Amino acid sequence: MANILLLDDSDVAGRAMQGILARGNHVCVVAKKTEEAWRILREGVVFDLVFLELKVAGSASTAFLQRLRDDWFWKALPVVVYTYETDVKLVRRALELGVRNYLIKPYGDELVFAEVAKVEKKSWRDSLFEEPKAFCAARGLTAERLASMRRSVMTGFDRAVRTFPGWAEKRQPEEVKSQIAALLSDTEAAGVWVGANFLRELQAQAASDNWTAFFGCAEFLEFASRLVYCQLNPGYAPASMHPSAENAKALEAAERERWERVDVNLSGPLVDLPKLFQQVEALRGCPVIDTAAAAFQMAADTRASGISQALDLVADDPGLCAQVLIAARQIQRDEMDVIDDVRAAASLLGELKLSAIATSLTIAEERHLHNGPLSWAGWWTFQVAVGRVAEFICTYLEFDYLGGTARTAGLLHDIGKLILLKLHPFALPVIVREARERKLPISSVERQYLGCTTRELATRFADARGLPAVYANVIRWVETPAAATAHGDLIAMVALARHVCLHAHVGNSGDAPGGMASIGSTPAWQVLQQRLFPSFDLRKFEVQSHAFCLNLRSELSGQRGDRRPSHAQRAAELV
- The whole-number pLDDT of residue 471 equals 96
Q: Residues 94, 68: contact at Cβ < 8 Å?
A: no
39 and 159 assigned to the same domain: no
Does some domain include residue 115? yes
Q: How many CA atoms lie within 13 A of 278 on its CB side?
A: 5
Q: Is 225 exposed, middle or buried (0-12, 13-18, 19+ CB in 10 A)?
A: buried
Neighbours of 63 (CB within 10 A): 9
| pLDDT higher than 80, residue 569 | no
Residues 58 and 178 in one domain: no
**Domain range for residue 183?**
132-232
Please tell me whether residues 113 and 139 are part of one structural domain.
no
- Mean pLDDT within 312-335: 84
What does the angle CA 430 – CA 432 – CA 435 come to, to the nearest 5 degrees? 105
Q: Which of 126, 148, 168 is the last residue of a domain?
A: 126
Interior angle at CA 239, CA 237 and CA 240, nearest 5: 100
Question: CATH number of the domain that 84 lies in?
Answer: 3.40.50.2300
d(CA 69, CA 66): 5
- Interhelix angle 403-412/376-396, nearest 10 degrees: 160
Instruction: Band the pLDDT of 44: cuts 50, 70, 90.
Output: confident
pLDDT of residue 333: 54
User: How far apart are alpha carbons 192 and 52 in whole angstroms?
Assistant: 30
Q: Which amino acid, one-letter code, is at 399?
A: F
pLDDT digits (tens, 9 = 90+) for 407-435: 999 999 999 999 999 999 999 999 999 99
Return the pLDDT at 242. 56
Q: Is the pLDDT of residue 478 over 90?
A: yes
Kindly state whether residues 287 and 319 are assigned to the same domain. yes
3-state secondary structure 103-124: EECCCCHHHHHHHHHHHHHCCH
The verdict on 48 and 156 lying in the same domain is no
d(CA 297, CA 5): 34
Closest by Cα among 486, 485, 480 to 498: 480
Beta strands in 255-326 (DSSP E): 288-289
Q: Residue 275: inside a domain, yes or no?
A: no
- Which pLDDT score is estimated for 305? 53
- Is this prediction's pTM over 0.95? no
Domain count, the chain: 4
pLDDT at 559: 54
Identify whether 173 is preceded by a cis peptide bond (ω within 30 of 0).
no
- Domain membership of residue 246 (yes or no) is no
Residue pLDDT, tens place only, 94-145:
889 899 999 988 888 889 999 999 998 888 888 889 999 999 999 999 999 9
Give the closest residue to 371 by CA, choosing from 429, 431, 445, 434: 429
Side chain identity at 313, as an amino acid letter?
L
Nearest to 402 by CA among 479, 462, 488, 328: 488
CA distances from 54 to 10, 50, 82, 115, 288 (A): 12, 12, 8, 18, 37
Written as one string, the DSSP assignment of 127-169 is GGB--HHHHHHHHT--HHHHHHHHHHHHHHHHHHHHHGGGHHH
550 with 492, same domain?
A: yes
